[in-house]
Structure 1
């Protein structure tokens, strides 16, 4: 079966998840360092306020904060971290799949281009995606998504050092006491 977005669905642009646990808060859309400036310029061009935080960094020593950032994250504009700021909820227009349109669709981040593929071993479909829930798999039409995911994975390879994740402290109000903020050394 060929992958296609489900009519009226924009769920992947709206719902953000806690990752790798609630302690870290909700994550935003993964932005590679070379994409960050372009996304910031697109926000200015579209008169949209955005928030980009670090996501993954590396350091040479365990007791020092990251000296290199491997990835950033574009946070949702709602207080709980949901809804991509580039999702067009006001125009009344529809995207080609019948959901809400993206204001930067042709210039969207690689992570958006890779969806519904997720970074796992082996590469898998995100089971939170409505298409994936309904059909279980997609046998074709995912070449550009695979290419995008492989580019992201290539950039995430850290030759040496310690890997850090950035805790956003963004999420649902009832989770505030669980969540942390700032860099947390990833346990190995």
Structure 2
């Protein structure tokens, strides 16, 4: 079955999830280091405020903070971390599938280009995607998504022995008491 966005859906650009657990807070859109400056420039052109935090870092020793950042994350504009800053929810315009349009669709990050694929071995579709929920699978029309996912995986490869994850401190009001912020050594 060929993948296509569900009419009136912009869910993947709105809802953010806690990952890897609630304590780490909600995650933003994955931004590779080579994409970070480009996305920051695009935000200035569009006069859009963005917040980019670290996401994954590495080091050679456990008693030091990361010495290299493998990925950043662009946070949502809402206090709870939801809604991509480049999602046009104000103009009244609609995307071809009827959802809210992306202001930077042709320049969007690799993570957005890879969606709804979230893993490459084995290929996994995001179970929260409305299309994937309704149809169960998609085995056609995902070549560019797979290509983007493989580029991300290649750039996240590291020989560094210590992996760090950045806790965003962002989440729902009722979770604020358990949210952490800053670098946390991954077990």
Whether these two folds match at TM > 0.5 is yes
Which consecutive segments of 4 or more residues in structure 1 shift more than 2 A?
none
Q: Structure 2 unaligned runs (5+)?
A: none
- Whole-angstrom distance in 2 between the partners of 1:180 and 1:81: 14
Q: CA deviation at 1:11?
A: 0.1
Provide the residue aligned with 1:131 in structure 2.
Answer: 131
Give TM-score scaled by structure 2 length.
0.98
Provide the residue aligned with 1:84 in structure 2.
Answer: 84
CA RMSD, 1 decimal:
0.7
Q: Secondary structure at the match of 2:163?
A: strand
Task: Decide whether the 8 Å contact of 2:120 with 2:146 is kept in 1.
Answer: no
Q: CA deviation at 1:91?
A: 1.2
- Whole-angstrom distance in 1 between the partners of 2:9 and 2:184: 34
Q: Secondary structure at the match of 1:119?
A: strand
Provide the residue aligned with 1:153 in structure 2.
Answer: 153
Provide the residue aligned with 1:64 in structure 2.
Answer: 64
How far does the alpha carbon of each residue in 1:121-141 deviate from its partner, in whole angstroms, 9 at most, with x for none? Answer: 312000100000000000200
Q: How does 1:1-188 map to 2 (within 5 A)?
A: 1-119=1-119, 121-187=121-187
Q: CA deviation at 1:71?
A: 0.1
Give TM-score scaled by structure 1 length.
0.98
Q: Secondary structure at the match of 1:30?
A: strand
How far does the alpha carbon of each residue in 1:142-167 deviate from its partner, in whole angstroms, 9 at most, with x for none? Answer: 00000000000011111122000000
User: Residues 9, 91 of structure 1: CA spacing in aligned structure 2 closer, same or farther, 3 A cutoff?
Assistant: same
- Whole-angstrom distance in 2 between the partners of 1:55 and 1:160: 16
Aligned residues: 187
Q: Structure 1 unaligned runs (5+)?
A: none
- Whole-angstrom distance in 1 between the partners of 2:107 and 2:28: 17
- Whole-angstrom distance in 2 between the partners of 1:176 and 1:120: 33
Q: CA deviation at 1:106?
A: 0.2
